Structure 1
């Protein structure tokens, strides 16, 4: 039994996509697609959901709020900057106090690896936690929405796809969740490209084809997943300069021509335009960036329903 499953093998929390069974992952994607296609209902009417964010967020926080509202939930928005955490209250005490108010759904973003799982371990029976990003570890709903977006563009059979992930993978929880989901769905080939200083030195990239040369990595790929430089998480000196990074790893329209003619471009946001991606690519016809954002609402509806419905 994994920490996110209960004794009946039911999904109690959504903390990571690692070791999430394929059938459960696919079921979440199928339900999300139904919501994207207009499925309605208010299965969470009368249920209170709190967005408990200890780090800044735009897309994830707002799309979780929108998802909960569409399901009929009462939404409480927690802002760490104006809360008692600024007076020294711990994250656990914060959660337990809100839980005591009758809240049973928590969407949590935390700066520490494993921070959300630690809170989930102390939650009352019947309380569900959704990981909205913890440290460098995991961002499961971003991984799910990326898979839904890719599936919409390329079909359900991932075995024929070549997917390239580019950039700061060392600091990226999104990359880790994407890699876990791509493996679970049986993608044909995963390519990785980025400065060696920004690649993890653990088992994260096992089974991936690692390329130093961005142009070579792009050759014939079906999807390019760009990542932002997470300068707030990295030590100085991991990249020589933003200009050099753009020269070596920035996705331009000219470079994109090396990929398959119908290749799609993805980015979890926020984008550093002119660093990892140029405007004409981010806003171009092959970009799925805004579709990813739209799919975030549908995926988070599916996750909230699965845990609290």
Structure 2
């Protein structure tokens, strides 16, 4: 349990303070925070509440959405991500998770969108490094390429991350997004110290109409967690393991019940 972290969106409707209190009751030592929840009470108050509860922050979600081609929209995205980096530093989060963004409205220029992301990361990475925060590139399942992330595989994420110093840019290994990839174990080995976060949830079928909510509790779906977790460990990752679930039925379940199930599944399927 010493490496287990609750990603706050797993109990999305709980406030930051309620989520922290639930972690304390469940014996969970870390929490992955979301900016919208932090903003409800302010960064300083959030940092103080987490610290006073004896928890650590495993990550801050999320930055990114960096594919805009309009100069004003791009400038706004850069400014927002700089603010997110500052928030992560103030919270003591080791990394800011980046969901890089999909195609701009009306565009089919996938190569151009990817180039825009790389350009923006190049602008943001030195600032993140100065503040002691790593940008964590998260590859999303290809079904999200059009609207959420033009970054679709761990190999592609590493190709991008390796252009920058390791202390500035890393990658997220998320089981929901990567389990299907025949090359994933080799790419995890390649990632090594680039792994900034390991996130777990299951792939359940049938997917809901809103595929964003297709994540399930570990053990409820199709993912074999052992080889993925073993590969992450063999690559040298020793950080927190976040459970991040977007699922309406989970959100409608009392948080203490969710966390009790989460802890048991983590021990049975991940920690072992």
Question: Would you tell me which structure has more helix in proportion to its own residues?
Answer: 2
Query: For the pair shown, which has the larger CA radius of gyration, 1 or 2?
Result: 1
**Of the two structures, which has the highest relative contact order with CA contacts closer than 8 Å and spacing of 6 or more?**
1
Give TM-score scaled by structure 1 length. Answer: 0.29
Give TM-score scaled by structure 2 length. Answer: 0.32
